[in-house]
Structure 1
Amino acid sequence: MVNNKFLNNSNDRHAAVTDGVFAIAMTILVLEIAVPTITDISSGVALNEYFLRYLAPSILIYFISFYIVYNFWENTVILFSFNKISYGVLTLNMITLAAVCMIPFATGFLFNFYNYTNANLFFSLLILVISLLYILMFMLLIKNNFKEYFDNKDELKTAMHNSYDDGFELPNLRLYLRGITLTLFYLLLAPVITSLLSLLLAFISPKASILSFLLTLVLVFLIRTRRFASDNLVGLDLTDEEKEFLGNLRNSIYGE
């Protein structure tokens, strides 16, 4: 049997590596913006053209990309709030980090070719893949941390057809369909929705494809605002350990 102290230490080291990767990725983003030389800019007219055609769009793309990376980092904060984190989830996290490291390259690609469909498709597909990896990780986390609720599939299926407000026969089952975990999956779906929209818009308007990622900011804000009051532990029959766990999870989503 694996020592719990060893597992906790392993999770802490993974969390440290994860934070480091995101910190570097977020820093490198701005370095992708090319600074022109004096030989490239020889007049005020050329400087104005550089600003309008390259610098202004690049700065906008930089802030959009920075927020997307920040949103993914927030997911990892929630990830390491779970009590049970399997090696499979940690492996998926490493694969996700490898994809995150490609975001600065994809962003730099957009800086130069934001008017081209292929550049937008590459960026959008990358964000979609990372978003789906996060959903897969959190599905495994929910399953591992609440395994006992999935032991009886027939009862689970019956309970899911009942009214949310009336509660369920299975103890604490509404934890899956309401409250913190439901909010979590709403948040995870936000970048999936925007990346799919961006993929479609890439064939119509590359510029609109880039701007569509601003929808992630709006969706995340609305989800947190509208669900804050409902994400509480009032009325749930929970053990002290479950309350502490869910309290930590809620704080990871909304802050202390």
Structure 2
Amino acid sequence: MAHNIFKNFKERNVAITDGVFAIAMTILVLEIAVPTVSDITSGATLNEYFVNYLFPSILIYFLSFYIVYNFWENTVFLLNFKKVSNKVFSLNVITMAAVCLIPFATGFLFQFYNYVNVNIFFSLLIMVISLLYILMFFLLVRDNYSEHFKKKDEIKETIHQTYDDGIELSNLKLYVRGVLLTLFYLLLSPLISSIISLILAFVSPVASLLSFVLILILRFVIRMKRSTTDKLVDIELSDEENDLIENIRECIYGDD
């Protein structure tokens, strides 16, 4: 009975999380202001609107849209874990509240993208959200696989020679530095971009914004580089471990 209640609670959290992201991604475009007839008095004024406002706003819109999509994708990855504690659900609520600020921060950028303070605010917001996802990741790994990390000496002795970038854990079943490490790398990509953006904000606001393209580049490179590395060949997995790994692999690489 309790298991069914928790399962229902998790499903409802997933549903409301998807709803928050859907709304946030939709209202991003509503932040782009359409000029009134009285604002456009000539062709020259309209051209000025296109060059100084509309083109930068559309670029910012696509960047923000992908950032929000990236965070939604991270949520899909993390909620594939079997055990999700109340701490993770609470962090997820805080994360969703922060995600809802992205349309507001994007609207700020539409109007004042060439101001340092506005770029700093946007970069800090993305950084905070990224850190929340990384914290959820560590809590989920701890809650789901804490027994694998108890005997450090035993773990060191069970390095699998076939995989030079991975460690097979103490029960010789779960290859932690496989798909879970890839997931961690994917969670790091927006954090890296936000740090670079924060630094560039003091140099060039435009470069600060464009640095978020790194999220797209990094995630593509990570997926391509590690798609073969993460295949758990000749590693014995329990049914539950195999289901988790396959779910995350399908999220990261698609159904291959």
- TM-score range relative to shorter protein: over 0.9
Q: Is the 8 A contact 1:117 1:202 kept in 2?
A: yes
Q: Is the 8 A contact 1:22 1:69 kept in 2?
A: yes
Q: Is the 8 A contact 2:169 2:176 kept in 1?
A: no
TM-score by length of 2: 0.94
**1:149 positional shift:** 0.6
> What SS class does the counterpart of residue 179 from structure 2 fall into?
helix
**How many Å separate the matches in 2 of 1:118 and 1:173?**
49
> What SS class does the counterpart of residue 74 from structure 1 fall into?
helix
How many residues get paired? Answer: 253
Q: Is the 8 A contact 2:18 2:72 kept in 1?
A: yes
Q: Is the 8 A contact 2:173 2:237 kept in 1?
A: no
Aligned to 2:63: 64
**1:251 positional shift:** 1.2
Q: Are residues 1:51 and 2:29 paired?
A: no
Q: Deviations over 1:114-143 (max 9, x none)?
A: 000000000000000000000000111111
Aligned to 1:89: 88
Structure 1 126/167 Cα, relative in aligned 2: closer, same or farther at 3 Å?
Answer: closer
Q: Is the 8 A contact 1:194 1:215 kept in 2?
A: yes
**1:162 positional shift:** 7.8
Q: Is the 8 A contact 2:169 2:175 kept in 1?
A: no
**How many Å separate the matches in 1 of 2:11 and 2:157?**
37
Contiguous gaps of at least 5 residues in structure 2: none
**1:160 positional shift:** 8.6
Superposition pairs of residues 4-83 of structure 1, within 5 angstroms: 4-83=3-82
**How many Å separate the matches in 1 of 2:73 and 2:171?**
30
**How many Å separate the matches in 2 of 1:159 and 1:189?**
29
- Whichever residue aligns with residue 48 of structure 1, its letter is N
Aligned to 1:106: 105
- Whichever residue aligns with residue 180 of structure 1, its letter is V
CA RMSD of aligned residues (A): 1.8
Q: Deviations over 1:182-203 (max 9, x none)?
A: 1001101100110000000000
> What SS class does the counterpart of residue 41 from structure 2 fall into?
coil
**How many Å separate the matches in 2 of 1:20 and 1:213?**
24
**1:246 positional shift:** 1.2
Contiguous gaps of at least 5 residues in structure 1: none
Aligned to 1:192: 191
Q: Deviations over 1:141-183 (max 9, x none)?
A: 1111111112224434x35988644965722376222x10010
**1:249 positional shift:** 1.8
